[in-house]
């Protein structure tokens, strides 16, 4: 899994046992490979680049994924032999309900690793009128089964997204992108440090600032936040272009204060989403890289005061950094067995559908 924050590739080796929709599973090993700076910049350029740039990048990302996974497989515990690889790919364009493009040539991965590759999971959902995202809710249904507690799964990746599963009513699941998370904070940090920092390590810059109410009010007026789900967001909504506009608009303020306000914005966006779309929620389970940001974590505790908030690893026993990688392993497992893995109540698709295509090693 390589997400919108462009920090690197998350890899998870997951063993499933069973035949139905709710198999037992174990996350046997995880790994992380940082995204090379040259590749990261090429991806950003591709967002507004030429067809040639996207084509070449498709090959280069495929090679990066293949080399990373091949090296990872050499470290697997004795007795664990992969049957297949599931690759989300790198999103370079996503317009909710219209078109979506994830690149990273699956044939490169299949040929280099000698394993079949499940890939391109999102388009099958858009064919039936869905937004193509979010897809992780299928995995959340597996995690929350048998649905005794009304649960919000909040992921703080590049984009923030949630899954809400009402107690004893999984068919009323609600899932969507809440809005910006680490992508916003990372991009602003990069702008304010002139590229010297790709992220606000330990939230030190934000911790030195204060929340600016007028700036927060402006951020909360973003049109995306007024939309009702199903909805999904990406670079087109909250990417570097948006962050440069913010830095320019609020140039009279200290960088630390704008960053501090942006952190509060991420937490407020999530809390507003729970209030509007998750009636009766009983607990919030946090995952994603954002939980390592101490200021953001404190803001979540503040805006959700009185709610039961827990961290993913405490509840489910594996590192939440690899939740999305494990989720796409599950989607790949479902594809191999012909099990539909979109959640129409989350994406808006007209029907359940089996997601993903298959690339063979030979």
Output the pLDDT for position 157. Answer: 87
DSSP class per residue in 152-168: EEEEESSEEEEEEE-TT
Token pair in block for residue 306: 């009185």
Output the pLDDT for position 60. Answer: 96
Contact 157, 178 (CB under 8 A): no
Q: Which residues contact 209 (CB under 8 A, 6 or more apart)?
A: 254, 255, 256, 257, 258, 259, 260, 261
CATH architecture, domain 137-316 = 2-Layer Sandwich (3.30)
The C-alpha angle with vertex 185 and arms to 183 and 189, in degrees rounded to 5, equals: 115
The answer to whether 8-132+322-359 and 137-316 have equal CATH topology is yes
Q: Which residues of 286-318 are buried (b: 16+ CB within 10 A; e: fewer)?
A: bbbbbbebebbbebbeebbeeeebeebbebbeb
Tell the residue number behind the tokens 């139905």, with chain if given: 20
Output the pLDDT for position 70. Answer: 96
Output the pLDDT for position 234. Answer: 84
Stated length of the chain: 362
CA 215 to chain CA mean position, Å = 26
Residue 44: other Cβ atoms inside 10 A:
16
Q: Give the containing element (helix H, strand E) for 96.
A: none
Token pair in block for residue 161: 């997204």
Token pair in block for residue 150: 């009304």
Q: If the chain, 362 residues long, is cut into consecutive pieces of 10 residues, what is the mean pLDDT of each piece?
A: 87 93 94 94 86 94 97 94 96 80 96 97 94 91 92 93 93 91 96 95 97 98 93 88 97 98 98 95 92 94 92 92 94 96 92 97 90
Cα separation, 313 vs 107, whole angstroms:
34
Token pair in block for residue 107: 């044939």
Tens of pLDDT along 77-129? 998 999 999 999 999 888 766 788 999 999 999 999 999 999 999 999 999 99
Cα separation, 180 vs 166, whole angstroms:
24
Output the pLDDT for position 183. Answer: 93
Q: Which residues contact 255 (CB under 8 A, 6 or more apart)?
A: 188, 192, 205, 209
Closest CA to 85 of 328, 340, 324: 328
Contact 290, 320 (CB under 8 A): no
Cα separation, 153 vs 86, whole angstroms:
22
Tens of pLDDT along 121-150? 999 999 999 989 889 999 999 999 889 999
Output the pLDDT for position 289. Answer: 85
DSSP class per residue in 264-290: HHHHHHHHHHHHHH-TT--EEEEESGG
Output the pLDDT for position 97. Answer: 66
Domain residue ranges in the chain: 8-132+322-359, 137-316
Q: Give the containing element (helix H, strand E) for 8.
A: strand 8-17
Closest CA to 321 of 288, 292, 294: 288
Token pair in block for residue 285: 């389970």
Output the pLDDT for position 82. Answer: 96
Pair type for strands 283-287 and 308-311: parallel
Cα separation, 64 vs 77, whole angstroms:
23
Output the pLDDT for position 96. Answer: 67
- Give the three-class secondary structure for 43: helix
Q: Give the containing element (helix H, strand E) for 93.
A: strand 90-95
Task: Please check whether the domain covering 8-132+322-359 is classified as CATH 3.30.420.40.
Answer: yes
DSSP class per residue in 200-259: -GGGHHHHTS---HHHHHHHHT-HHHHSPSS----HHHHSHHHHHHHHHHTTTS-HHHHH
């Amino acid at each position: 899994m390589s997400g919108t924050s462009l920090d690197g590739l998350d890899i998870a080796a997951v063993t499933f046992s069973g035949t139905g929709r709710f198999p037992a599973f174990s996350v046997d090993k995880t790994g992380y490979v940082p995204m090379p700076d040259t590749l990261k910049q090429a991806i950003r350029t591709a967002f507004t680049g030429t067809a040639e740039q996207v084509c070449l990048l498709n090959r280069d990302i495929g090679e990066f994924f293949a080399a990373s996974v091949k090296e990872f497989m050499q470290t697997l515990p004795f007795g664990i032999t992969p049957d297949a690889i599931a690759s989300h790919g790198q999103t370079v364009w996503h317009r909710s309900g219209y078109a979506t493009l994830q690149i990273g040539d699956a044939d490169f991965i299949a040929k280099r690793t000698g394993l079949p590759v499940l890939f391109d999971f999102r388009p099958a959902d858009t064919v039936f009128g869905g937004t193509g995202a979010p897809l992780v809710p299928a995995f959340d249904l597996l995690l929350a089964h048998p649905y005794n507690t009304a649960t919000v799964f909040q992921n703080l990746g590049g984009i923030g997204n949630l899954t809400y599963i009402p107690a004893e009513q999984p068919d009323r699941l609600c899932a969507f992108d809440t809005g910006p998370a680490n992508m916003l904070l990372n991009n602003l940090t990069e702008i304010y440090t002139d590229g010297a920092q790709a992220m606000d390590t330990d939230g030190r810059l934000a911790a030195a600032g204060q929340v600016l109410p007028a700036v927060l009010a402006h951020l909360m007026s973003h049109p995306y936040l007024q939309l009702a789900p199903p909805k999904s967001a990406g670079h087109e909504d909250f990417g570097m272009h948006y962050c440069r506009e913010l830095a320019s608009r609020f140039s009279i303020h200290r960088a630390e204060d704008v960053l501090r306000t942006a952190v509060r914005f991420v937490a407020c966006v999530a809390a507003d989403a729970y209030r509007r779309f998750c009636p009766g929620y009983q607990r919030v389970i946090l995952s994603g890289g954002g939980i390592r940001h101490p200021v953001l974590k404190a803001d979540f505790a503040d805006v959700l005061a009185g709610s039961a908030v827990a961290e993913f690893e405490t509840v489910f026993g594996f590192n939440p950094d690899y939740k999305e990688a494990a989720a796409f392993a599950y989607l790949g497992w479902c594809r191999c067995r012909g099990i539909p893995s979109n959640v129409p109540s989350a994406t808006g698709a007209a029907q359940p559908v089996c997601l993903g295509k298959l690339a063979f090693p030979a």
